[in-house]
Amino acid sequence: KQEVTQIPAALSVPEGENLVLNCSFTDSAIYNLQWFRQDPGKGLTSLLLIQSSQREQTSGRLNASLDKSSGRSTLYIAASQPGDSATYLCAVIPPWGYNQGGKLIFGQGTELSVKP
């Protein structure tokens, strides 16, 4: 059974710091991995999608890497800003989901607070 873990559960950093959020999964056979951001009481905003054949994806100040063999992904945020404060979630799609519908398996998230 695929399980996704995110460490730490909460993180507080001063503005301007570069930071790394971690995501690990127990079964390396995944179809893709997606990072999301969730503001309190709101829906999820997709940040980056990494296909299983890719090693990393970049969007602005965000860079996500994927190492399937070790069951790990990291989300790197450069020059953090108070507006980055939110909960960050990673989710994987197992390979059997390819022909049976998209089923995201989520981690519990990392709550990030960036202090001015």
Tell me 83's DSSP state: G
Residues 6+ apart with CB under 8 A from 42: none
Partners of 35 in the β-ladder: 48, 90
Which segment (12-20, 58-66, 68-76, 91-99) binds another protein by CB under 8 A? Answer: 91-99
Q: Does 88 bind another protein (CB under 8 A)?
A: no
Nearer to another protein, 47 or 77 (CB): 47
Q: How far apart are CA 90 and CA 24, in angstroms?
A: 9
What the block records as the tokens of 28 is 């390396």
In whole angstroms, the minimum distance from the beta carbon of 44 to another protein comes to: 4
Nearer to another protein, 10 or 79 (CB): 10
Helices (H), 1-116: none
Other beta carbons less than 10 A from residue 3's beta carbon: 12
Nearer to another protein, 86 or 89 (CB): 89
Q: Could you give the string, one character per residue 47-66, with x where binding to another protein holds by CB under 8 A and - elsewhere?
A: --x-x---------------
Provide the binding-site residues for another protein, judged by CB under 8 A.
Answer: 31-32, 34, 36, 41-46, 49, 51, 89, 91, 93, 97-109
